Amino acid sequence: MEDRIKAIAQARLINAIEHDELLSAWRHLSEVKTRLFLLGYPDDVVPENPDRLNRLAKIAGLRDGNEYLRRHEHVIEAVRSIYNEGLERLKVEA
């Protein structure tokens, strides 16, 4: 995936900031999936249960589940923004 993101940047389909954001997001989401798996949770959904969310936050080195959700939501929004801006640049409607 890192090579694909780099190739998209080299083709100038995304800028350097978007490249860095996408790499950071990919790494974050890969870590989330791995941590969910290791905790025995379904690896495709961040838990809503406060105890589970706090456990996830603790192993991620964060204070609590709320901090974890803020970080996770920031990553999701950054990717969504890049996606929407990319569609706009291509003049495609979502």
Q: Summarize pLDDT for 77-88 with one digit per residue, the tens.
A: 999 999 999 888
Position 10 pLDDT exceeds 60: yes
Q: Which is higher by pLDDT, 20 or 91?
A: 20
Give the DSSP letter string of 24-84: HHHHHHHHHHHHHHHTTS-TTS---SHHHHHHHHHHTT-SSHHHHHHHHHHHHHHHHHHHH
**CA trace torsion 56, 72, 32, 51 (10° rounding):** 20
Only one residue has tokens 């996770």, namely: 72
Mean pLDDT of 50-56: 95
pTM of the model: 0.84
Mean pLDDT of 17-35: 96
**pLDDT value at residue 92:** 62
| Tokens found for residue 6 | 């780099």
**pLDDT value at residue 90:** 80
Query: Average pLDDT of the chain?
Result: 93
pLDDT-derived band at 30, boundaries 50, 70, 90: very high
Say which residues have a Cβ less than 8 Å from residue 4's Cβ, sequence separation at least 6. none
